[in-house]
């Protein structure tokens, strides 16, 4: 929502309003000298920039002159309309001003980049959002219940015995049934394992012995023999590991909360009285 604050028009309006107020204060009782309208270098640059952004080319000389004439015309009308009080009690202008103040408050929040301490505080306050998941490095062999039928348990036991005897971290690319998810997984998070094999399998892995062939371990698909080479446990992260994620969440929380906070702050400056509706209006 920075866009509204960046809009050259916004700068111009603010400037215009200040000029107007100044004009009114100092020239109230004298014959008005012709008012000044200055289209500054900066405003010219932003006219060109806006045009270029939309059309993907620079304006021609004629186009630029047209844009400047329009800007001057807009300014003249704007000042005269203010002088006539046309901004009062206009629903659209009221809404627009409300919206602009909201954008300003959001933008102020966005520009105030959080310090490391801010982020750390957010991380400490929401540890579950950023916890480093349990990770597994493992090999698995799949035993297809459809293919093995009644022999499933027997086959599993026999294969496990063979694997155990063959010893340790044996390459097992040529046994087991085909399984399209693959047989080797490196530093796979518990969430990812659950997504791919089902929650039950992931839960089983977190109980499994490391360094030996184990099983059969049940998954969403059937039975597996698993060699769990390494398991790293779940832990709270250091800020450096999750800084981007914390920043996204922090931004998000600010985005959702900031306007209300700002409004509540402003509201404190007011006493609000709401009159009882008349009997007629309440019907």
Q: Could you give the CA distance from residue 132 to residue 149 in angstroms, rounded to a whole number?
A: 39
Q: How many CA atoms lie within 13 A of 245 on its CB side?
A: 14
Contact 130, 195 (CB under 8 A): no
Segment contacting other proteins (CB under 8 A): 27-35, 48-56, 76-84, 110-118? 48-56
Please tell me whether residue 210 binds other proteins under the rule CB under 8 A.
Answer: no
Q: Which of 75, 109, 130, 176 binds other proteins (CB under 8 A)?
A: 176
Which CB sits closer to other proteins, 65 or 169? 169
Q: Which of 62, 89, 244, 280 binds other proteins (CB under 8 A)?
A: 244
Segment contacting other proteins (CB under 8 A): 14-22, 33-41, 150-158, 243-251? 243-251
Q: Could you give the CA distance from residue 180 to residue 196 in angstroms, rounded to a whole number?
A: 11
CB-based burial label for 274 (10 Å; 0-12, 13-18, 19+): exposed
Q: How would you classify residue 64: left for phi > 0, otherwise alpha for psi between -120 and 50, otherwise beta?
A: alpha
Shortest Cβ distance from residue 121 to other proteins (Å)?
Answer: 20
Segment contacting other proteins (CB under 8 A): 75-83, 183-191, 260-268, 270-278? 183-191
Q: Which of 122, 219, 225, 246 binds other proteins (CB under 8 A)?
A: 219
Q: Residue 216: is the preceding peptide bond cis (ω within 30°)?
A: yes
Q: Where are the alpha helices (DSSP H) in 167-220?
A: 190-197, 199-205
Q: What residues make contact with other proteins under the rule CB under 8 A?
A: 3, 50, 53-54, 56, 91-93, 95-96, 99, 139, 141-142, 144-146, 162-163, 166, 169-186, 191, 194-199, 219-222, 244, 248, 251-252, 255
């Amino acid at each position: 929502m920075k866009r509204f604050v960046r809009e050259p028009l916004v700068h111009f309006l603010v400037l215009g309003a200040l000029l107007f107020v100044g004009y009114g204060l100092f020239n109230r009782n004298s014959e008005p000298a012709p008012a000044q309208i200055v289209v500054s270098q900066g405003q010219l640059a932003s006219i060109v920039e806006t045009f270029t952004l939309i059309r993907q080319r620079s304006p021609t000389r004629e186009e630029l002159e047209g844009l400047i004439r329009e800007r001057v015309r807009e300014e003249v009308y704007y000042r005269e309309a203010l002088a006539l009080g046309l901004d009062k009690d206009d629903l659209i202008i009221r809404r627009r001003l409300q919206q602009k103040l909201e954008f300003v408050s959001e933008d102020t929040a966005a520009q105030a980049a959080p310090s490391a301490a801010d982020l750390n505080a957010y991380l400490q306050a929401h540890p579950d959002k950023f916890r480093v998941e349990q990770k597994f490095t493992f090999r698995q062999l799949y035993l297809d219940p459809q293919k093995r039928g009644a022999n499933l348990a027997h086959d599993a036991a026999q294969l496990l015995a063979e694997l155990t005897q063959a010893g340790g971290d044996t390459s097992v690319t040529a046994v087991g049934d085909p399984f399209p998810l693959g047989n080797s997984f490196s530093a796979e998070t518990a969430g990812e394992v659950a997504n791919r094999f089902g929650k039950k399998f992931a839960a089983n892995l977190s109980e499994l012995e490391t360094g030996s062939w184990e099983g059969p371990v049940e998954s969403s698909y059937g039975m597996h023999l698993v060699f769990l080479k390494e398991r790293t446990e779940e832990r709270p992260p250091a800020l450096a590991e999750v800084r981007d994620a914390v920043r996204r969440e922090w931004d998000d929380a600010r985005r959702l909360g900031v306007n209300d906070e700002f409004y509540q702050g402003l509201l404190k400056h007011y006493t609000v009285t709401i009159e009882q509706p008349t009997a007629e209006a309440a019907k």
